[in-house]
Chains A and B, each alone.
Chain A
Amino acid sequence: MATAAAQGTARPEADGARNTTGDEVQYQDAFDAAVAADERIEPRDWMPDAYRATLVRQIAQHAHSEIIGMQPEANWITRAPSLRRKAILMAKVQDEAGHGLYLYSAAETLGTGRDELLDKLHSGRQKYSSIFNYPTLTWADVGAIGWLVDGAAITNQVPLCRCSYGPYARAMVRVCKEESFHQRQGYELLLALSRGTPEQHAMAQDAVDRWWWPSLMMFGPPDDESQHSAQSMAWKIKRHSNDELRQRFVDICVPQAESLGLTLPDPDLTWNEERGKHDFGTIDWTEFWEVLKGNGPCNEQRLTQRKRAHDEGAWVREAAAAHAAKHSGGTGAAGHRTTGAERA
């Protein structure tokens, strides 16, 4: 819902060019008031350019993470060890494509296009979550991703359901429901392995050992090195700092690991009575920055596969566009309005 505060002054901005400086100040005031009152900013409302740019960057990165994140899990679809697990995994990867679609749509409300965003992903100008640059080496990794990676994502995303930008907040409500389901399935997968044969238990432990630290890195750099944090919190795009969310995640995971019968690979992990929270070891930030720079185990492979799928699909998108153009007014193009060539 557009806000009472924003509506009166902000709406005209969407219909025309920027007005006088006086109007600009008024719009800024209305925007600030709406954010302060915890109201939602909607696509046609005036918003500061930097707010718009930050949201585009964040939502696009989120969308890219969903579609790159399909790869490490899709890696195991053809090898899933039971038909039930195969069906669950296929449904999950399908959901991720759907999340990518919601998020690209949310980004498009800010005046950008899916093609433009994909271009930026393919050329490395926009990033995706560092976690997907790690390989899935065993079946247990599928469970570890569900439990830890989706768990970290949910911890990050639940507060985003109250984000100040309406379309993003609403996308997050839908995404979080499905993610919670995936997370429980991942946990249940690990539980079956942990309680299975000794080989299965060892497979589960090995996966948790490899995914634990990268999952903690998903919350981003420490607060004192996070360049966008303060502004994003002021705009109520973010509601909690990276370190707060990371701490919350650790505190959630420790008892879950215990009931799984698995250990977390951190000798410094202990309960701190005074803080009422867990203390934990130091993250290898060198590794984090290397992965972010493109030097992780799978950065090259992930981007290459994404670009190949896109390039090899070009003739298909062109065919859909050509067909739609020939039959415009007909029903043939339904559902394919967003392909690149059709826009051109």
Chain B
Amino acid sequence: MSSTGTESTTATAAVLALGDDALILSHRLGEWAGHAPVLEEEVALANIALDLLGQARILLSMAGDEDELAFLREERSFRNLQLVEQPNGDFAHTIARQLYFSLYQHELYTELAAGNGPFAPLAAKAVKETAYHRDHAEQWTLRLGDGTEESRSRMRAALDALWRFTGEMFQPVDGLDVDPAALETRWLAALGAVLDRAGLALPEGPRTGAWAAGAGRQGLHTEPFGRLLAEMQHLHRSHPGASW
């Protein structure tokens, strides 16, 4: 199967890392459909999910068959960040996850778009989408952080809860031609500026640990991820060889 056959190449490691991030976060956002706090957010969250799914399809197709890679790999073969597989939680958790990730993705794609590597064409398109995603997450961080007492405390709790998954974004990935340390510096500066405007502080505590350091990139995931895959893959796996 192509998913195991191609994993040895460094270019594929990078493709799967970026593709799986987009695929899994898109899936989580898709879970919001019909549950959002206001109709405008039904539209916005689905919109972001669709952008990410579009990115995932292009990236996975660079590594093989998109459906085979999405529906027939098992948990240990997925290379996404643990951050993006975290359950939606309340709206603040979803926004905190989105803030951390879209700031990272925007910085990353801006850099990739400027280069001439294999990701440059995709990045040129994706950078526009991620600018929108970032803006959406920032606006909600401001509203929740500088809204009511309740929204402020929920936003702070969400930022704290997801903080330990953020270090993984800056672990080196084979085939991804960026300087992780410089990326991290820019990410921290951008995040600090938003949180400052929202009247929130950068969370404290470790951003990596024995398990969180690059674990998702090695196929080591958190427990909710297996259940996500069970749901996502069930129908496809129930009809081997069928086309849809």
Separation in Å of the B90 CB from the closest CB of chain A? 8
CB of B54 within 8 A of chain A? Answer: yes
A81 contacts B50, C-beta separation under 8 Å: no
CB of A70 within 8 A of chain B? Answer: yes
Question: CB within 8 A of B46: which of A79, A93, A316?
Answer: A93
Q: Which residues 48-94 in A have Cβ within 8 Å of B in the complex?
A: 67, 70-71, 74, 77-87, 90-91, 93-94
B→A interface (CB under 8 Å): 23, 27, 30-31, 33-43, 46-47, 49-50, 53-54, 56-57, 60, 66-67, 70-71, 90-91, 139, 142-144, 146-148, 150-151, 154, 231-232, 234-236, 239, 241-244
Separation in Å of the B194 CB from the closest CB of chain A? 13
A83 contacts B56, C-beta separation under 8 Å: yes
- Closest-by-CB residue of A relative to B46 is A94
CB of A332 within 8 A of chain B? Answer: yes
B31 contacts A78, C-beta separation under 8 Å: yes
CB of A312 within 8 A of chain B? Answer: yes
Separation in Å of the B186 CB from the closest CB of chain A? 24
Residues of A within 8 A of B49 (CB): 90
The answer for the CA separation of A129 and B49 in the assembled complex, in Å, is 28
Residues of A within 8 A of B234 (CB): 79
Residues of A within 8 A of B35 (CB): 305, 308-309, 312
The answer for the CA separation of A109 and B66 in the assembled complex, in Å, is 46
Separation in Å of the B167 CB from the closest CB of chain A? 28
The answer for the CA separation of A197 and B40 in the assembled complex, in Å, is 40
- Known contacts being A93-B46, A332-B139, is A305 close to B34, with CB within 8 Å? yes
- Known contacts being A94-B46, A319-B150, is A87 close to B144, with CB within 8 Å? no
Interface hit among A96-104, A211-219, A230-238:
A96-104
Residues of B within 8 A of A83 (CB): 23, 53, 56-57, 60, 66-67, 70
Question: CB within 8 A of A309: which of B27, B34, B60, B242?
Answer: B34
CB of A200 within 8 A of chain B? Answer: yes
Residues of B within 8 A of A193 (CB): 244
The answer for the CA separation of A80 and B71 in the assembled complex, in Å, is 10
The answer for the CA separation of A249 and B42 in the assembled complex, in Å, is 31
Question: Count of A residues near B, CB < 8 Å?
Answer: 56
A78 contacts B30, C-beta separation under 8 Å: yes
Separation in Å of the B37 CB from the closest CB of chain A? 2
A94 contacts B43, C-beta separation under 8 Å: yes
- Closest-by-CB residue of B relative to A76 is B235
B34 contacts A71, C-beta separation under 8 Å: yes
A70 contacts B151, C-beta separation under 8 Å: no
Residues of B within 8 A of A189 (CB): 244
Separation in Å of the A99 CB from the closest CB of chain B? 10
**Chain A interface SS verdict (over half):** helix
The answer for the CA separation of A91 and B54 in the assembled complex, in Å, is 11
Separation in Å of the A59 CB from the closest CB of chain B? 15
Question: CB within 8 A of A93: which of B34, B41, B53, B235?
Answer: B34
The answer for the CA separation of A74 and B33 in the assembled complex, in Å, is 6
A319 contacts B151, C-beta separation under 8 Å: yes
B91 contacts A90, C-beta separation under 8 Å: no
Separation in Å of the A159 CB from the closest CB of chain B? 26
The answer for the CA separation of A93 and B239 in the assembled complex, in Å, is 25
Residues of B within 8 A of A70 (CB): 33-34, 42
Residues of B within 8 A of A319 (CB): 143-144, 147-148, 150-151
Question: CB within 8 A of B144: which of A81, A97, A316?
Answer: A316
B53 contacts A196, C-beta separation under 8 Å: no
Residues of A within 8 A of B66 (CB): 83
B42 contacts A192, C-beta separation under 8 Å: no
Separation in Å of the A80 CB from the closest CB of chain B? 8
Separation in Å of the B3 CB from the closest CB of chain A? 14
The answer for the CA separation of A28 and B42 in the assembled complex, in Å, is 41
A97 contacts B46, C-beta separation under 8 Å: yes
Separation in Å of the A62 CB from the closest CB of chain B? 14
Separation in Å of the B238 CB from the closest CB of chain A? 9
The answer for the CA separation of A196 and B239 in the assembled complex, in Å, is 10
A332 contacts B143, C-beta separation under 8 Å: yes
The answer for the CA separation of A336 and B39 in the assembled complex, in Å, is 10
Residues of A within 8 A of B150 (CB): 315, 318-319
